[in-house]
Amino acid sequence: MQKQVCVQIPFLKFTIALLCLLASGCGYTLRHRLKDTFRDERGIFVPVFNNRTDEVGIERVFTNALIRELQSRGEIVIGDRKRRSLELMGTISSLGFSPTAYTDPGYRGLQPYRRLPTEFGISVTISLELYDPEANRTLWSRSFSGFQRVQAPFDRTRDYEAPSALGPITQSIIESKYGDIARDIMRDVYDDMVELF
């Protein structure tokens, strides 16, 4: 009987020590991938994105979305490139849209083989790189994609395959979604940069 008690006491001590270690370490001392880097007083400089698409001006939409996301999280974003500041550089590598839904054939008197798009899917791919010029090294890099659908004013659309026939209204509807896509991507960007180990 006495031998059994001696065996149980060390096991009980080990269990209590393990529980204390887990309770003190798991929820309160988690480190982020770039936490210390982001809180650095040097700040982060975000140059205007490099635009490799045919969509003029979209680089500013994505640059502004990234700056707003960083500022909303309390990061130090600086307006001018400085020798010691970190640089978060972005490239928009692709942007496209294509019909994802159509009217029935022969809609409103069209030829039986003709259908008009009722919905467009918009896709964007970007890549980002966080660079430390002082250390001359890349701290983090990754590519991200975004996608959204928009309703097309199909009663005004003609031949969607002809660029001049897409129509200003449809084009403006598509362009109005760029900001939403940029905002969604930048949330993913920030979450990835400060992902928990």
Tens-digit pLDDT profile for residues 54-104: 999 999 999 999 999 999 988 888 888 877 788 999 999 999 999 898 888
Q: What is the pLDDT of residue 19?
A: 52
Q: Domain residues of the chain, as ranges?
A: 1-30, 32-193
Tens-digit pLDDT profile for residues 133-177: 888 899 899 999 999 999 887 655 455 444 445 567 788 888 999
Q: What is the pLDDT of residue 18?
A: 52
Tens-digit pLDDT profile for residues 95-141: 999 989 888 887 767 677 777 788 899 999 999 999 988 888 998 99
CATH topology of domain 32-193: Double Stranded RNA Binding Domain (3.30.160)
Section 24-53 average pLDDT: 66
Nearest CA among 154, 150, 156 for reference residue 178: 150
